[in-house]
Structure 1
Amino acid sequence: MKRMILLALALSACTHKTPDKATHVQHLATTYVSTLPSRGIDYSAKIERVAFGSCANQDEPQPIWNTIAATHPDLFLFTGDNIYGSWSGQQPLAEQYRKLDLFPEYRAVREKVPFMATWDDHDFGQRDGGQEWAGKDAARRDFMNYWTYTRNSMPLEQGGVYHSKIIGPKKQMVQVIMLDTRYYRSPLKERPGFEGKAMNYIPQDEGTILGDPQWEWFEAQLKRPADVRFIVSSIQLIADDPQFEKWGNFPKERQRFFDLIKSTRAKNVIVISGDRHIASIAKTDLKGYGPLYDITASSLNRPNKYPDADSHYVGLTYNQENFGLAEIDWKKKTVTMQIRSMENKIVNSVEIKLK
């Protein structure tokens, strides 16, 4: 273990230098297959508590894992930006996964709690990146090497990292659908005057977020029997006012999502998202379906001090370190979705009645 830590620190120090081309290519070829002792998923186990979160920079402390452990979740969902590998000095991706494994607080949770994960832009390898990113297949390789459970969750020839699991006994089945909002996503349309500056995008009539293969797969998943469905989208689905990345940048794709929920008659759908470095609960009412909630938990260790507002938000946003917790009460047939602080205080919540 000591040797592993020293090696990681040495490699980390090297990444802050500007390598020549040959060295850079050699670094990009680095692989890391995680051997971290981790709890596997018991698919027959009853799920009552699901923790979730996003945006965890492996070069900064991560004490919030101690708080998460104190809630005793049955499952943790990593919803994107699980590492940061798109900034200068944070390549190759494989080395960033190795650094994540060195946090004792994180290791302690992995040993006791099963994890599922999808990626966002920073663990995809390109900030705000999509289908145009040349390194996406290498990033997928690194993702699967680290999240080794995915090797049995999706075909090797599949594009992207989308996959799903159903956990729990009959009449208490929890489905987790991990979407991939990166691999197939069309290029974003930048606001005139902000070209090349990122983070200021406008809606466009054409383009896709999921891509046709994933849309077909997604429909099939929604038709599977389940009593609660958590759909994980790394970017926000419902919030529409901020100029950042969101489903609202592709309004036809977002409407397709809403229409698919209705046409498949998928009950008890709850969307979970990350990305924004603020925590929020958003709600929309779908005609012929009812209320749909999107709970955003972000960030685990990279808070932003700016305010945020959206016409769909329910309650206040929270911009310090946070995580989400879903508490399922099977007897009362409710799911309480909470945003919790570093101090484990509930800063926003909503109770959703199961159908």
Structure 2
Amino acid sequence: MKKTIFVLGLLVAFSACKTVKPVETTVTTETKPDFTIAFGSCNKHDEVNPLWDDVLAANPNLWIWGGDNIYADTDNMQQLRAIYAAQDNVPGYKKLKETVPVIGTWDDHDYGLNDGGVEFKAKKESEQEFLDFMDVAKDSPRRQREGVYAVHNYNLPKAKVKVLVLDTRYFRTALTPATDNKRRVQPNVYGEGTILGEEQWKWLTEELNNSEADFNILISSVQYLSNKHGFEGWGNFPHEVDKLKKLLVKTKAKGAMILSGDRHISEFSVDTVKDLNYPLVDFTSSGLTHTYTGFSGEENPYRVGEVVFVKSFGLLNFDFDTKTVNFKMIGDNGKVLGELKQTY
């Protein structure tokens, strides 16, 4: 079956390095979605987040944290706990939690160590604080397992949605410092190091092998496809990028997509994977309270459309009858800053 991809509300950017400005359009009336996911990342509890009312206005069935849900950067659990508590008491977020289920992952600043990975000494303690923030039951098996990865299944009348929350911190091995002054890090030697670690890869393989979902949504705190910017991302472990593509093909995963954060910009990246019968979308949404306002362009061979560098969150509207997902970047006052439609 021929799969189609549409880009709306954006000018397609064939030059990956040009300076770009967000294109704003007003949210238009459309058929009520069968399922709606809102997600976002890079959120400071002590800075104004103008978007919580817009998230609520989108009527999501689910809110997903994409990482850097708070900024703590600490191995002091008392301090970490206090910042989580402060975030829980932010009025807009508190109201959201009262009406919308919340799941998600972490990134380095709520993990506790900037650009941190397996070497962070307080990761076990930090994991428990994160699980408390996510209201995970004290007797949940997740409390006994290393890493915050998790699966959430939504069996709806017309379709099944599986959300696979990945942990790109707990097991991630060392990065390779860049040898030039244009990048912070550079890709590891092919085959060296890991992002997910052996146990998480085993878990992910089993989940995808056994998935009956019509849509398999992978949550990664760092970008999966964009690989030229010289910051953190899957591209620093190119063999892990290939491993995931092969896994999606081998398991015949339906409707797989990746939601990512970290970068303080929002963009759509799309790749055509051999033997995967739909384009693989990596939707980056970042950030909620602060953004890369000085952005002047960077290379991304997979980018579709333009980069948005104002405060925004991601929105996914599902139409189960047509197997279509409408991806949107939403700014303050419900402005649509970027939009992409994908039929699976």
The answer to whether TM tops 0.5 is: yes
Q: What is the aligned-residue RMSD (CA, Å)? A: 2.1
Indicate whether 1:319 and 2:306 are aligned: no
Structure 1 residues 145 and 229 mapped into 2: Cα distance closer, same or farther (>3 Å)? same
**Distance in 2 separating the partners of 1:76 and 1:201:** 31
Map of 1:61-72 to 2, 5 A cutoff?
61-72=48-59
Per-residue CA deviation, residues 130-181 of structure 1 (Å, 9 max, x unaligned), is 0001111111011112212365664322111000111123541111000000
**Distance in 2 separating the partners of 1:166 and 1:269:** 14
Residue of 91, 95, 102 corresponding to 2:89? 102
**Distance in 2 separating the partners of 1:320 and 1:211:** 34
Structure-1 residue corresponding to 2:156: 169
**Distance in 2 separating the partners of 1:185 and 1:282:** 23
Question: Partner letter of residue 323 of structure 2?
Answer: K
Structure 1 residues 156 and 103 mapped into 2: Cα distance closer, same or farther (>3 Å)? closer
- Segment drifting more, 278-287 vs 90-99: 90-99
Structure-2 residue corresponding to 1:11: none
Indicate whether 1:260 and 2:247 are aligned: yes
SS class of match (1:166) = strand
Residue of 276, 282, 295 corresponding to 2:283? 295
Indicate whether 1:271 and 2:258 are aligned: yes
- Unmatched runs of 5 consecutive residues or more in structure 2: 1-32
Map of 1:152-231 to 2, 5 A cutoff?
154-169=141-156, 171-192=158-179, 200-205=184-189, 206-223=192-209, 224-231=211-218
- Unmatched runs of 5 consecutive residues or more in structure 1: 1-45
Structure 1 residues 256 and 53 mapped into 2: Cα distance closer, same or farther (>3 Å)? same
Structure 1 residues 88 and 186 mapped into 2: Cα distance closer, same or farther (>3 Å)? closer
For the 8 Å contact 1:128–1:245, the answer to whether it is kept is yes
Aligned length: 306
Question: Partner letter of residue 133 of structure 1?
Answer: F
**Higher strand fraction: Structure 1 or Structure 2?**
2
**Distance in 2 separating the partners of 1:128 and 1:234:** 12
For the 8 Å contact 1:171–1:227, the answer to whether it is kept is no
Q: Percent identity?
A: 34
Structure-1 residue corresponding to 2:61: 74
For the 8 Å contact 1:281–1:294, the answer to whether it is kept is yes
**Distance in 2 separating the partners of 1:303 and 1:294:** 19
Structure-2 residue corresponding to 1:304: 292
Structure-2 residue corresponding to 1:144: 131
SS class of match (1:161) = coil
SS class of match (2:327) = strand
Indicate whether 1:250 and 2:218 are aligned: no
Shift of residue 332, structure 1, vs aligned partner? 2.1
**Distance in 2 separating the partners of 1:91 and 1:343:** 36
Structure-2 residue corresponding to 1:112: 99
Structure 1 residues 150 and 131 mapped into 2: Cα distance closer, same or farther (>3 Å)? farther
Displacement over 6 Å in runs of 4+:
87-91
- Segment drifting more, 304-313 vs 150-159: 150-159
For the 8 Å contact 1:47–1:167, the answer to whether it is kept is no
Structure 1 residues 63 and 254 mapped into 2: Cα distance closer, same or farther (>3 Å)? same
Structure-2 residue corresponding to 1:353: 343
Shift of residue 48, structure 1, vs aligned partner? 1.0
Structure 1 residues 154 and 345 mapped into 2: Cα distance closer, same or farther (>3 Å)? farther
Structure-1 residue corresponding to 2:119: 132
For the 8 Å contact 1:153–1:163, the answer to whether it is kept is no
**Distance in 2 separating the partners of 1:99 and 1:270:** 32
- Segment drifting more, 157-166 vs 304-313: 304-313
**TM-score after normalising by structure 1:** 0.82
**Distance in 2 separating the partners of 1:56 and 1:150:** 24
